[in-house]
């Protein structure tokens, strides 16, 4: 009986740990698809439609306009940037 309880306890703990790891992995993956922090910071004290700029991933200066699509936070949308990319933030 003790052995059965021990096996059940270990199995339960392993299952809970696996689910917790999956949740952590999902949160990390969401971060890769979100708006760049620099784009958010570029519009931190602006209003929709204001011009903005930030340093891109390749150390280039990116210029654009502050926008808040679909109730997302105000962020700098690069000039000529694809609208689809700006929406895929979840």
Q: Give tens-digit pLDDT for 29-86.
A: 554 467 889 999 999 999 999 999 999 989 999 999 999 988 789 999 999 876 544 5
- Residues contacting residue 12 through CB under 8 Å, at least 6 positions apart: none
pTM for the full predicted model: 0.53
Helix, strand, or coil (residue 22): helix
- 22/14 Cα distance (integer angstroms): 12
- 37/46 Cα distance (integer angstroms): 15
Residue with tokens 């003790």: 2
């Amino acid at each position: 009986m003790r052995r059965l309880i021990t096996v059940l306890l270990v199995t339960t703990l392993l299952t809970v740990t696996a689910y917790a790891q999956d949740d952590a992995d999902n949160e990390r993956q969401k971060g890769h698809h979100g708006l760049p922090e620099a784009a958010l910071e570029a519009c931190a004290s602006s209003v929709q439609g204001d011009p903005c700029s930030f340093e891109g991933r390749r150390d280039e200066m990116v210029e654009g306009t502050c926008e808040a699509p679909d109730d997302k936070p105000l962020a700098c949308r690069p000039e000529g940037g694809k609208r689809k990319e700006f929406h895929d933030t979840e």
